[in-house]
Structure 1
Amino acid sequence: MLFSCLVDADYLDTEAFMSAGGVRRGGYEPIAVLRERLKAHTAGFFPPRNPLNAKRCVILRTCEAAGAWGRGLYTLTVPTGGGKTLASLAFALEHAVRHGMERVTYVIPYSSIIEQTAEVFREVLGDGNVLEHHSGYEYDDSGEGGDPRRLAAENWDVPVVVTTNVQFFQSLFASKPSRCRKIHSIANSVIIFDEAQMLPQPYLRPCVRAIAELVRSYRSTCVLCTATQPNLGPLLPEGMDAQELCPDTEALYEFFRRVRYEQLGQLSDEALARLLQSHNQVLCVVSTRKQAQTVFRLLEGEGCFHLSILLYPEHRGRVLSQIQERLRQSLPCRVVSTSLVEAGVDLDFPTVYRAEAGLDSVIQAGGRCNREGRRSPEESVVYLFRPDGAYRLPVSLRLPVEAATMATQTGEDPSAPATIAAYFTTLHSLRGDALDSKRVVERFEAGLPSMSFPFASVAEDFRLIEEDTRSVLIPNGRGRELAERLRQGERSRALLRAAGRFCVSLYPQHFEELDRAGALEALDGGVYLLTDPNLYAGDTGLAPEAEEGRGFFA
């Protein structure tokens, strides 16, 4: 914290000197004004027009009233569809005003959720009061003085920040001045951890200890917000516990229960495809990209779609728009997807199939079924199945599957609060020391007696995204123009971010396979261009396997 204060002050003084005081910073509206703006927006929810809206209004008012509670650590456990985004914002703004806190920070696992959440906040609170800060966001620096939000991203000096788990925690555990500069802005703020079950498991213990330290020593209030609360109590320091903002969780679960779960046992790809073909509209979520492509190719007829990270983000967005439009028009729509569809994607299918996974993933998939509550839970089924032996689960998924099996072995509803609590308790027990895979907590505690802490070595080891992936730019649409600009030597942060919308990230083995086949051209900035258009399909995206030794005849 002290280093952050010093670094930011030094940067700001240098900035002011070099620009003769001409840099545009600040000018944001007070937190109290933002609170009143949210109240004006939510006033339109009353009186509620149906029982679902009535329950959402109760949750909203409950969270708003809890804003008067003291600083501390809280949970907000609200089922999917309960309106927890605006309810948590109501708590945060009320709490910040009551306690003289400086800002509200939303920490979210996926950029897709960030984009939606930030857009909602900008509409309600005003564009200039909200900073969206993640690797995929592009600032417009074309105007006079550039985009002030790019400056705000350096030190988070803005009332509302929406950012990622990666940006937030890697800044807390960083040692470089540019990354640490924003840390002092986290103190004396309300921090909402949305989809808290997605806190990174290999770093869960140090992340939880960091949250506890912000509450205990830096006057911050933290809220763990999710439909599937991860039961982090055993990881907290002795004497610290979290208080629930909306305590009637059992009643909320019963009210918002929209689906029933049914076990199908093991299914071959052919049997799975036949079942999917029997539905007019259906979503199937599997755990591997290989199975997603295989099952998709077995489907026939119009309205079949594939979703995975092998489609570049711009392409995925277009596919999702097509899916949403077909769902609205009740047209045939069969989607096979990896888990990327489970969080932050607004889809509502009458039926969902989910390959075995952790309970949090199963329930997230269930949230895409009967999302708007238009059908009864009895006719809205989430079918759970085991893929056949052709697919080996990734190591990261094996323990969650084992814990889910143990938590539901007596036939409990996977989405019941008691089942979820049992699942996370079992999962954390099975992981054991793997909840701090780099021994971060142990290393800091070892340095405590001499006040000599391993900041540099921990910063080097603390990587929430472990995979050494490479970005491959697909020259489709605007991607072709961006590739040419990179090839001509043009470089800017905005250009690289724009190019990211047309990039697919590949693991080393797949990248090397394409490289050996001569299908890649190196561009500066760590980006590679796909030179063989035949390796990117309009339905399944990039083919990570390529034939070697291609021949060209002249």
Structure 2
Amino acid sequence: MSEDSKQISSKEYIAHINEYSGQVQSVKEHSENTAKLCREFSVPELADFMYALGLQHDIGKYQRSFQKRIRGANVRVEHSGCGALAAEEQYPVPMSLMMAYCIAGHHSGIPDGGFANDTADVVTLAGRLKRTFEDFGIYKDDLELPEVNAKEWVSFLVRDFERRPEMLVDKFAFLTRYAFSCLVDADSMDTADFCKAKELPKRLRADFEECLDKVIRKFDSFVCETKLQKARSLLQEQAFARARKDGEIYLMNMPTGSGKTLASVKVALERAVAGKKKRIIYVIPYNSIIEQTAEVFGNLFGDDMEILRHQSTFSYEDTENISEDYRESAKTAMENWDAPFIITTAVQFFESVYSNKRGKLRKMHNMADSILIFDEAHLMPQDYLQPCLQAIAFLTRYLHSEAVFLTATMPDYRRLIQTYALPDANIIDLIEDRSQFKQFQKCRYTYLGEIDSISLLTHAHNSPSKLMIVNKKATARKLYQECSGLKFHLSTYMTSLDRTRVLGDIRTELRRLEEDYPNLENVPEERRITIVSTSLIEAGVDLDVHTVYRETAGLDSILQAGGRCNREGKRAMADVFIFDLADEAKRGPEDEKRSIARKLLDGYPDIADNKCIEEYYDRLYFMNEEQIQKNTLCREGSRLESIPFKSYAEKFEIIDSRTFSLVVPQDEYSRNLVEALRYTKAGNIRKLQKYCCTIQRWELEDLIRQYAVEDFGTGIYCLTNTDYYDRELGITFEAKDYFL
């Protein structure tokens, strides 16, 4: 021990100073508090390990130079590597390796493992552990590191993968991110509690039993007289009965119109109450669906459930009609998901699990001991299907959560999970008897073949209300411009604000049409409604039109489009027409999903038949193993000491990074936010989300060349010439013409 270290008694080693009160927290106190919280957050199998991890994380603060820095000296000190070195000294491999990843990265993020020949200037774990640190050995006089049963720890690590070493890398990485999550949240919470200027917000609350009672009363209130209503009730009762079995993953395959959303939340509440689970996390594929889901649950549960919404397009700062206490509690809960009921997106969920960063991973440990509902589960991205399924399988097996997959077009998830994620996963089909599905077949699907846009519009002309869905935004715009009469356009070229407005207008006109023409007969031409949209309208948008036209796409997309047709079953049968646009058919390579669907259109008289859906997913997934597994983590690094945590996290993107959000100021509030961005170079993108549209990189570059877009050096791109935006069409890419 150096003479410098001896000059400070252990009680004087400072971790934090409260800038408001001047009070001092010692390294020992902070380390022990963090260790206790780590253990409290942990699943029982890792509790002792987590305590040891928390106790060691700030050992580097025992360096003399750090103590000078915290007392005001202008010196730069790295402290996180010291705890990693201490772990290597105190605990056996691979336990010490997991600790080292977590402790070395607890500020900057879990690093790549690197290689034995990495030098000290390389930012991998291997490189950082070769750096020279001041003597920090005084920690041994201050902290008593506990023993951790290495045999039990290793047994938990290798469980299920004794004969599959390649998968062991994935499990080790998963548990490392989980341990990191416990550590950084414990560290953040103790630091915030000590350094606070005022009382921290209270935790959001919920009464699961009272909410379950409300859901039961809701189901009891439903009328059950028609064949459709009776079929819906039979399916729901089948799901509820089978959900009483103990499982890890539950598959709820129910047709559109069968009440899946409400049924899923009843199952979730029953499982949460029975298993004393901490929270329910409702995962939705798109931001656009969250609004109506949150509204449904909010209206149903009222004050018995304080719901946390975590999505990129929503800001609690701008939300009206909520109390200040609720606002502050929700904003805090968004950091670590310490809330009883969370509604979020698949992007938020999976990119958090596979992140390496403190801010995102902090919430991962609160996915444990939870009920996880995946709405529209078939929309999990194919390129990342293996890691997504594996994350769910590991959360349910090792962190004691339960998952519910919810969709009307269910892939063979049992086989997929057992093939690509966890061989003996305990999976329960909530719907085994599908005989009632035929009652929900309210549409016939007809393939028109190749057709030009004029012929398509002529074919659709007499329909009182029709929804025409195409694959490209430019196609939607062109088709909309060729339409006549009462028409609406939807695409992500439009801002979220305008899409919401247009959807509201569509619902109003559809309602008026039914009121004025109850049988939808003899509707005059000027009252016939045409909606032209991209696929954004397919999932979760509650519309009911007379006829649907869908450009060929994946079978799941076609059937989702059909779910907008005759949705309430008011007619015995309605029509969904599938087509190839003549101009589009000659452009570019064939999309795989589209190609498979087109072959099935020729082979099946009814593409909504379960056998057709099964064959579609078999062709898509089980004949394409390389595509499914190309982004598996263990392919990136096959040794525990070389796992590329940082590199893999940066690569893991569910949403295509080649697209950009463009802010379009549309009112005084948004214009003020953009002006503040221009002059302060700082802004809150979440406040601007509803004013954003989505464009490709080359489209953004084209607008920049035309001096229509600037980012003011912030990376937040804003449309500065609003002549390039039309409220019905969205971004136009060329200015309006003016005639003098």
- Matched with 1:434 is 627
Change (3 A) 1:289 1:141: closer
- Give the whole-Å Cα distance in 2 for the aligned partners of 1:350 and 1:442: 49
Deviation at 1:57, TM superposition (A): 3.2
Kindly indicate whether residue 577 of structure 2 is the aligned counterpart of residue 383 of structure 1.
Answer: yes
Indicate which of 170, 187, 192 corresponds to 2:351. Answer: 170
Kindly indicate whether residue 592 of structure 2 is the aligned counterpart of residue 407 of structure 1.
Answer: no
Change (3 A) 1:126 1:156: farther
1:156 and 1:185 in contact (8 A); partners too: yes
- Give the whole-Å Cα distance in 2 for the aligned partners of 1:370 and 1:334: 15
Deviation at 1:481, TM superposition (A): 3.7
Indicate which of 481, 490, 505 corresponds to 1:307. Answer: 490
- Matched with 1:234 is 416
- Give the whole-Å Cα distance in 2 for the aligned partners of 1:150 and 1:20: 17
- Matched with 2:570 is 374
Deviation at 1:415, TM superposition (A): 1.3
- Matched with 1:278 is 462
Indicate which of 636, 655, 661 corresponds to 1:471. Answer: 661
SS in 1 for 2:450: strand
Kindly indicate whether residue 499 of structure 2 is the aligned counterpart of residue 316 of structure 1.
Answer: yes
Kindly indicate whether residue 194 of structure 2 is the aligned counterpart of residue 17 of structure 1.
Answer: yes
TM-score (ref. length: structure 1): 0.91
Change (3 A) 1:14 1:2: same
Deviation at 1:486, TM superposition (A): 2.9
Aligned residues: 539
TM-score (ref. length: structure 2): 0.69
Of all paired residues, the percent bearing the same amino acid is: 35
Structure 2: which 5+ residue stretches go unaligned? 1-177, 514-526
Deviation at 1:394, TM superposition (A): 7.0
- Give the whole-Å Cα distance in 1 for the aligned partners of 2:675 and 2:198: 38
Q: Which moved more, 1:178-187 or 1:273-282?
A: 273-282
1:513 and 1:545 in contact (8 A); partners too: no
Deviation at 1:21, TM superposition (A): 6.4
1:108 and 1:165 in contact (8 A); partners too: yes
- Matched with 1:514 is 703
1:141 and 1:147 in contact (8 A); partners too: no
Indicate which of 255, 260, 264 corresponds to 1:84. Answer: 260
- Give the whole-Å Cα distance in 2 for the aligned partners of 1:37 and 1:26: 23
Kindly indicate whether residue 308 of structure 2 is the aligned counterpart of residue 131 of structure 1.
Answer: yes
Deviation at 1:391, TM superposition (A): 5.2
SS in 1 for 2:309: strand
Kindly indicate whether residue 524 of structure 2 is the aligned counterpart of residue 334 of structure 1.
Answer: no
- Give the whole-Å Cα distance in 2 for the aligned partners of 1:383 and 1:428: 26
1:25 and 1:152 in contact (8 A); partners too: no
Indicate which of 595, 610, 616 corresponds to 1:423. Answer: 616
- Give the whole-Å Cα distance in 2 for the aligned partners of 1:7 and 1:107: 24
Residue identity matched to 2:577 = Y
Residue identity matched to 1:312 = T
Change (3 A) 1:487 1:12: same
- Give the whole-Å Cα distance in 2 for the aligned partners of 1:230 and 1:110: 19
Deviation string 1:437-495 (CA, Å, 9 cap, x unpaired) is 33424336x23xx46533222111111112333332223234334333433438453xx
Structure 1: which 5+ residue stretches go unaligned? none
Deviation at 1:247, TM superposition (A): 1.8
Deviation string 1:516-535 (CA, Å, 9 cap, x unpaired) is 11111324643223233322
Kindly indicate whether residue 633 of structure 2 is the aligned counterpart of residue 456 of structure 1.
Answer: no
SS in 2 for 1:501: helix
- Give the whole-Å Cα distance in 2 for the aligned partners of 1:504 and 1:187: 35
Kindly indicate whether residue 450 of structure 2 is the aligned counterpart of residue 266 of structure 1.
Answer: yes
- Give the whole-Å Cα distance in 1 for the aligned partners of 2:623 and 2:243: 36
Question: How large is the RMSD of aligned CA atoms in angstroms?
Answer: 2.5
Residue identity matched to 2:660 = R
SS in 2 for 1:147: helix
- Give the whole-Å Cα distance in 2 for the aligned partners of 1:344 and 1:253: 20
Deviation at 1:305, TM superposition (A): 1.3
Describe how 1:180-195 pairs up with structure 2 within 5 A.
180-195=361-376
Kindly indicate whether residue 542 of structure 2 is the aligned counterpart of residue 351 of structure 1.
Answer: no
- Matched with 1:34 is 211
2:681 and 2:714 in contact (8 A); partners too: no
Higher radius of gyration, 1 or 2: 2
1:399 and 1:431 in contact (8 A); partners too: no
Kindly indicate whether residue 207 of structure 2 is the aligned counterpart of residue 207 of structure 1.
Answer: no
- Give the whole-Å Cα distance in 1 for the aligned partners of 2:239 and 2:297: 17
Indicate which of 556, 569, 573 corresponds to 1:360. Answer: 556
1:71 and 1:220 in contact (8 A); partners too: no
